[in-house]
Amino acid sequence: MAASDSLNNARSILCERIAELEARMPRLAPQTISKKMDAIRSMAAEHGLAALEGLADYAAHHALMPGHRQATRACLEHMGEALGSNSQRDRETILAALAVRLH
């Protein structure tokens, strides 16, 4: 399998995991949300998707804090942008936009 095929396959799997999390989030416990975000982070890291890795890491940590539903929703809204990028610069930009939005 070519590297681009592997990356496209990973993006497809991640997209499915994100969609499932979005659909189930209202019924999930914070610990479950955190674990699912950490699994997304891990897979993103394996495939060099720095923006998605950073966003999922932020979401995994904030899922366990007060106000986690708002933070998780905001993270999920930026997942599409992050999934389409593998740039460290995009990671910083997306996390900065998220911070401004949440504070």
User: Which domains does the chain possess?
Assistant: 3-102 (1.20.120)
- Give the separation between CA 86 and CA 73, rounded to whole angstroms: 22
Mind listing the pLDDT tens digit of every residue in the chain (103 residues)?
A: 576 888 899 999 999 999 999 999 999 999 999 999 999 999 999 999 999 999 999 999 999 999 888 889 999 988 988 988 877 788 888 888 888 887 7
pTM for this prediction: 0.88
pLDDT at residue 18, as a whole number: 95
Buried b (16+ CB within 10 A) or exposed e, 68-82: beebbebbbebbeeb
Indicate the angle between helix axes 30-46 and 3-24, nearest 10 degrees: 170
Check: CB of residue 52 under 8 Å from CB of residue 83. Answer: yes
What's the token pair of residue 30? 């914070």
